[in-house]
Amino acid sequence: MTANRGLALFRFFFAALCLAAIASQFAYNVANIEDYKPGNFFSFFTIESNIIATVAFAVAGWFAWHGRSPRWLELLRGGATMYMAITGIIYSLLLSNIQVDTAVPWVNVVLHYTMPTVLVIDWLVDLPQRRISVRESLILLVFPVLYLAYSLIRGPIVDWYPYPFLDPRIDGYGQVAVMSVLVAVVAFVLALVIAWSTRLRSAVPHPAALDASNTH
């Protein structure tokens, strides 16, 4: 893999933008909400997935600058892309008219629309050198599953839930179970898409291979 300084700068820029958005929203909440609980802020899937995306972009930018792409980084990028896609899809379908701690307009756009789109574009532009198997992509679902367990365990302890569809006080645990299954289906499909998309790279003939075939 050769160094790609343009891709590296692209990743550095959006990593910095995402970090600035998270920090700005957190500072706004602390300054404007009385008795604000920081633990709640960092318990939103949106915030956690954007933090993962920021780290993934910063690290991937460094490796792109030096022309390297280790396997663990490809899996990290795949996970970050999946989590941000989940964030964008679920927010657009279920939460766009609900306050989810992103009251600053530009921050809301960055975290719920810009970063999910950018992560998907980055993934497709720079697909992994080697295929990601379905088994590997399914392992990436561990984070969303742990997040669900964390939210449901923490909720009754602090009397707060990050999203209405995870709040059993509204329509009971039956509704929570139904919505959790629906979100899980979305996540499962995205995991399969992540694995399938890595086949695209091998489906496109390498320029060297084309040159070799033309000589015969």
Q: Render pLDDT for 138-163 as a digit per residue (tens, 0 to 9).
A: 999 999 999 999 999 999 999 999 99
Residue whose token pair is 């933008």: 17
User: Rounded mean pLDDT of the chain?
Assistant: 90
Give the pLDDT confidence score for residue 205 in this predicted structure: 46
pLDDT of residue 212: 42
Q: Are 43 and 29 in contact (CB under 8 A)?
A: no
Report the pLDDT value the prediction gives residue 96, as an integer from 0 to 100.
Answer: 81
Q: Looking at residue 216, what is its pLDDT?
A: 46
Q: Which residues contact 114 (CB under 8 A, 6 or more apart)?
A: 14, 17
Residues of the chain predicted below pLDDT 50:
204-216
